[in-house]
Amino acid sequence: MPKTKVALIGVGNCASALIQGLQYYGKVETSKGSTGLRNPSLGGLKPKDLQVVAAFDVDDRKVGKDLAEAIFANPNNAPKVAEVPKSGVVVQKGQLLDGFGKSTQSIMQVSTAVDVDVAKVLKKSGAEIVLNLLPSGAAQASEWYAEQALVAGCGFVNATPNFIASNAKWAKKFAAAGLPLVGDDLVDQVGSTALHKTLLQLLSKNGAKIVETYQLDVGGGTESLDTMDRTRDAKRAIKTESVASAVPYKTDVVAGSTDYVDFLQNKRDSYFWISGVYFCNSPMRIDLKFSTVDAPNAGSVLFDVLRGMKLALNKKQKGAIEPLCAYGFKHPPKLLPLEAAEEAFKKFVTENS
């Protein structure tokens, strides 16, 4: 089975979880040993069929290092769960643009290495898919790397909340180039948004009426810090829209990232409040705390999305691939209810395997 060749933009916490996950699940053939994976095999593709062939960053502690070393360099704080041997892939210096925000500048160290020609490196590496894992505030840089993917003839996965796959202008550009594009803003595997939506759906389905609900979270990764000054409003809009879509009538919903707590490291605490009424206007309340580790929450969904992209590439699908977007992202071009998104994804995999 030829490998699915992936290039990483940003070697932060998500990249660390992905690379460690590839090692951790490297021998998985069947469901044995696959605890933690939603799909041990997808369209015949296993996690071991994914291969990272190029990586770009701008931080001095990562540029010039083998991926095996770079993923554990500061300020990354995703937990170490696997020994990663040298990969032979050295992190190259990309263009900084708006990569760092006001609040992250103090913890970042910009490399003085010369910027490489990213499109040229992508082509030489044989990358088929470019995975954008830049900080959420890096809007300009995200678009710049999407342009490099187009030049190099690669599909593009946008894990950030910047609107690329859900922007008709970009979807058209990738369609014109005959390349697939998916995004925006990756869905977590055991994410607070999915949990919140499921609770609301269950309550509504059972005849309760939600009166008001919020979901607020705090985290200790660099991404949480970046969110504070650059994307809090945008993330709140995306999450609120997604959560509100789970309730079949208009109600008061607030969902968003709230603060950065450094000692949490890569952990994230989410707080949910739901109030409503049921039979004879009887009141109900849910007051819940949900704790996860942030970066591993991206791993299983990234495995699925990357393998889905390989199926799309095999079948020469182009432009925004809607079933993949609806399944793996919080802000797809077309938002579907959770079950419908799952169904659309399964159908896509069956039809393209």
Ligand X SMILES: NC(=O)c1ccc[n+]([C@@H]2O[C@H](COP(=O)([O-])OP(=O)(O)OC[C@H]3O[C@@H](n4cnc5c(N)ncnc54)[C@H](O)[C@@H]3O)[C@@H](O)[C@H]2O)c1
How far apart, in whole angstroms, are the C-alpha atoms of residue 288 and residue 131? 33
Which residue's CB is nearer to ligand X, number 58 or number 203? 58
- Roughly what angle, to the nearest 10 degrees, separates helices 139-152 and 168-176? 10
Output the smallest distance, CB 99 to ligand X, in A: 2
Output the smallest distance, CB 293 to ligand X, in A: 9
Which residue's CB is nearer to ligand X, number 298 or number 326? 298
Q: Which residue is nearest to ligand X (CB)?
A: 12
- Who's near 117: CB < 8 A, 6+ residues apart? none
Which residue's CB is nearer to ligand X, number 185 or number 304? 185
How far apart, in whole angstroms, are the C-alpha atoms of residue 177 and residue 144? 16
In the complex, which residues of this chain contact ligand X (CB under 6 A)? 9-15, 56-59, 94-97, 99, 133-136, 138, 141, 159-161, 185-186, 188, 221-223, 294-295, 297-298
Output the smallest distance, CB 65 to ligand X, in A: 12
Which residue's CB is nearer to ligand X, number 186 or number 199? 186
Output the smallest distance, CB 8 to ligand X, in A: 9
SS3 61: coil
Cα 238–Cα 323–Cα 337 angle in degrees, nearest 5: 55
User: What b/e sequence results for 336-347 when a residue is b if at least 16 CB atoms lie within 10 Å of its CB, and e otherwise?
Assistant: bebeebeebbee
Output the smallest distance, CB 178 to ligand X, in A: 26
Which residue's CB is nearer to ligand X, number 17 or number 312? 17
Half-sphere exposure for 257 (CA within 13 Å, toward CB): 25
